[in-house]
Amino acid sequence: MAEIQLRNLSKRWGNFVGVDKFDLTIADREFLVLLGPSGCGKTTTMRMIAGLETATEGDILIDGKRVNDLEPKDRDISMVFQSYGLYPNMNVFENIRFPLKVRKIDPATHKDRVMRAAEMVELEPFLHRKPAELSGGQRQRVALARAIVREPNAFLMDEPLSNLDAKLRVSTRAQIKNLSHELKVTTVYVTHDQIEAMTLADRVVVMEKGVIQQVGSPTEIYDRPANTFVASFIGNPAMNLIDGEIQDGTFRCARTEIASLTGANGPVTLGFRAEDAQVVESGGQITAPVYTMELLGDASMISVRIGGALVSVKAHKDFRIEIDEPVSIAVPSEICHLFDRKTGARIGA
């Protein structure tokens, strides 16, 4: 097992900063997700942990030992990539077995270890097949089994579900969650998909432009985003964000007036979640014509335009309204989040 410490870790290419002063301890057996948009530095951070990229500054420690100068093969870490990286000439059994052969592990143990790994990802019926005879989901499970068979100190997973269709993504995500529970191995998982982060992680690190924006449990990040970037990145739909002004405890902007807000005066960005507001018959804090209505199955999503922002609220699944009809939305002060208009930082605890 392994605790991974990243100390003031940076990666630069000339003047371009890929990762900037990344400082974090990943606990033994923790499932940590690095989350952010393309180009935010999450994969670069993971590749530095693996030894596939050289850190410009800072230290990487695994169980207290500095590993910056160790080759990837000497860090006792298994990786699962976005591309499956399977050997087309080998069947599933041999693909899973390959890391044991490379590391010269006692051949007498190979069959038992391969079968145990295959069983964990439900591949026993496919061990004789070549990769070309497998579906995308099955190939990804071979890649997972190949990582598991080594029994490493840590797993590094780089967007392993991004090549799968929506249905396979859900089932494979559940499998990874179950494997994490069974294996109890430190795991660093990279994704741009906030649903994967919310469902898999013990802790989430939200990154933008190489900088950590917030670290916390999925619940903490969802309920109390540290800034407008996190608020806009986490959630489906993302948190509604409206620019306006607070005077004497009342937030105002076009078609919106929300009273009983404390902790700020002057220009702010106000946020609230679509599921926390309600469509009401009259007297809501927002009154505006409907911009769109979408049927989601379990709810109806109503959107209106407030200033330059598109604001969404979830209504009952049977609710119906036409575009351009006026709608009233209740936004109680207790569901609102306030952010500094200039910096985007959260205002208040």
Q: Where do the domains of the chain lie?
A: 4-228, 238-340
Where helices occur in 71-165 by DSSP H, the ranges are: 92-102, 110-120, 136-149
Angle between helices 92-102 and 136-149 (to 10 degrees): 30
The pLDDT of residue 190 is 96
169 in Cβ contact with 141 (< 8 Å): no
Tens of pLDDT, residue by residue, the chain (349 residues): 689 999 999 999 999 999 999 999 999 999 999 999 999 999 999 999 999 999 999 999 999 999 999 999 899 999 888 777 889 999 999 999 999 998 889 999 999 999 999 998 889 999 999 999 998 889 988 999 999 998 888 999 999 888 888 888 888 888 889 888 888 999 999 999 999 999 999 999 999 999 999 999 999 999 999 999 999 999 989 999 999 999 999 999 988 999 999 888 999 999 999 999 999 999 999 999 999 999 999 999 999 999 889 999 999 999 999 999 999 999 999 999 999 999 999 998 7
| Total-model pTM | 0.91
The pLDDT of residue 169 is 86
CATH of domain 238-340: 2.40.50.140
4-228 shares its CATH topology with 238-340: no
The pLDDT of residue 1 is 63
Nearest to 7 by CA among 21, 18, 17, 19: 21
The pLDDT of residue 113 is 94
CA distance 347 to 341: 10
- The CA-based angle 309-315-317, given to 5 degrees, is 135
CATH of domain 4-228: 3.40.50.300
